């Protein structure tokens, strides 16, 4: 994975200070374990201040809004605010609000693709497809710079499917290094699975459901984690060195500790335990329970 500076250069790191609080207005949420109240799409969250800052930013989790800590716009918010709408907010120009809210989710999808493509381009084993990745990145960047009217109606699905084909080839190239590919758990239901100390090196965990899974001490090096649902998964002591297509939002949704090894472009979430987990017993490493 490239260093964080690389993503910053590509403007893929969210900059809430340059955004009109779009994720706090445009998107709906329902009262649940993730959000303390209902909110309809287009309604400003009751915690959003006039200056587009969150009034409970420092205490989202204890205030009942952990869902806000696991959302990443990949820089789409500031792109819509400052580029597409040229710095005119929905408060200053209410007549543009509806269009701005429609553009935001489209832009978020495109920026997410830019993130994956940028990461893929940094991977040495993916060199055979670097030229195609570069073309896809340039095309995706061009799409983000279309006018609001075009973006509002843009159907991302076909472009997303084409990029995904490319990312699949990258995954194969990365995971077939050295001793060959790891386990194939693409889309697997591993909710609550006991995978403590499991050997998941170079595993295909694309879109796997790992909600609440016990991954303490697991070996996830060079695993493909694109779209894997890690909510509540325990990554204490796990090794995610070289894991591909892992995002900050996925890490934020999981639990971990000081011993969890994470890719250099990502940040250890503040809510993770400061203490290291004890090493997993070897017997658990041999026979992980599968669901």
Chain residues in the site for ligand SF4 (CB under 6 A): 24, 45, 47-48, 54, 56, 65, 68
Neighbouring CB atoms inside 10 A of 273's CB total: 14
* Pick 78 or 140: Cβ nearer ligand SF4: 78
* Pick 14 or 84: Cβ nearer ligand SF4: 14
CB of 249 to ligand SF4, least distance (A): 13
Q: In the numeric block, which tokens belong to residue 112?
A: 């997410």
Q: In the numeric block, which tokens belong to residue 237?
A: 């002591």
* Pick 48 or 126: Cβ nearer ligand SF4: 48
* Pick 48 or 259: Cβ nearer ligand SF4: 48
As a whole number of angstroms, the distance between CA 78 and CA 89 comes to: 11
Place of tokens 């890490």: 251
CB of 244 to ligand SF4, least distance (A): 28
* Pick 75 or 288: Cβ nearer ligand SF4: 75
CB of 71 to ligand SF4, least distance (A): 8
As a whole number of angstroms, the distance between CA 291 and CA 277 comes to: 24
How far from chain centre, in Å, is Cα 155? 21
* 3-state class (DSSP) for residue 54: strand
CB of 100 to ligand SF4, least distance (A): 16
As a whole number of angstroms, the distance between CA 43 and CA 57 comes to: 19
Do 145 and 168 meet the contact criterion of CB atoms below 8 Å apart?
Answer: no
* Pick 68 or 226: Cβ nearer ligand SF4: 68
* Pick 68 or 255: Cβ nearer ligand SF4: 68
* Pick 20 or 85: Cβ nearer ligand SF4: 20
Q: What region does 41 belong to: left with phi over 0, alpha with psi -120 to 50, or beta?
A: beta
Do 176 and 149 meet the contact criterion of CB atoms below 8 Å apart?
Answer: no
CB of 27 to ligand SF4, least distance (A): 8
Determine which helix (DSSP H) or strand (DSSP E) holds 96, and give its type and residue range. Answer: none
CA angle 102, 71, 196 (to 5 degrees): 145
C-alpha torsion 255→194→228→39, nearest 10: -60
As a whole number of angstroms, the distance between CA 272 and CA 245 comes to: 21
CB of 89 to ligand SF4, least distance (A): 15
CB of 108 to ligand SF4, least distance (A): 15
Using CB atoms within 10 Å of the CB of residue 107, give its burial: 0 to 12 exposed, 13 to 18 middle, 19+ buried.
buried
CB of 97 to ligand SF4, least distance (A): 16
């Amino acid at each position: 994975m490239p260093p964080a500076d690389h993503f910053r250069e590509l403007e893929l790191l969210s900059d809430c200070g340059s955004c009109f609080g779009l994720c706090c207005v445009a998107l709906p949420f329902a009262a649940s374990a993730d959000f303390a109240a209902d909110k309809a799409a287009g309604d400003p969250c009751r915690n959003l201040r006039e200056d587009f800052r969150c009034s409970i930013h420092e205490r989202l989790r204890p205030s009942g809004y952990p869902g806000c800590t696991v959302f990443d716009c990949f820089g789409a918010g500031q792109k819509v605010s400052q580029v597409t709408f040229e710095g005119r907010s929905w408060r200053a120009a209410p007549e543009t609000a509806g269009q701005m809210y429609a553009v935001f989710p489209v832009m978020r999808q495109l920026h997410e693709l830019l993130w994956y493509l940028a990461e893929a381009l940094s991977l040495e084993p993916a060199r055979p497809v670097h030229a195609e990745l570069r073309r896809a990145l340039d095309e995706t960047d061009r799409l983000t710079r279309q006018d609001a009217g075009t973006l509002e109606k843009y159907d991302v699905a076909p472009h997303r499917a084409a990029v995904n084909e490319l990312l699949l080839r990258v995954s194969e190239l990365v995971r077939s290094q050295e001793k060959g590919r790891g386990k194939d758990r693409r889309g697997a239901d591993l909710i609550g699975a006991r995978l403590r100390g499991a050997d998941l090196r170079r595993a295909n965990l694309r879109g796997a459901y790992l909600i609440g899974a016990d991954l303490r001490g697991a070996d996830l090096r060079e695993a493909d984690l694109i779209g894997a649902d890690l909510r509540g998964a325990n990554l204490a002591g796990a090794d995610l060195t070289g894991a591909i297509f892992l995002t900050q939002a996925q890490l934020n949704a999981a639990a971990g500790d000081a011993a969890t090894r994470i890719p250099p472009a990502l940040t250890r979430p503040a809510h993770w335990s400061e203490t290291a987990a004890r090493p997993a017993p070897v017997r658990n490493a041999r026979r992980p329970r599968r669901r």
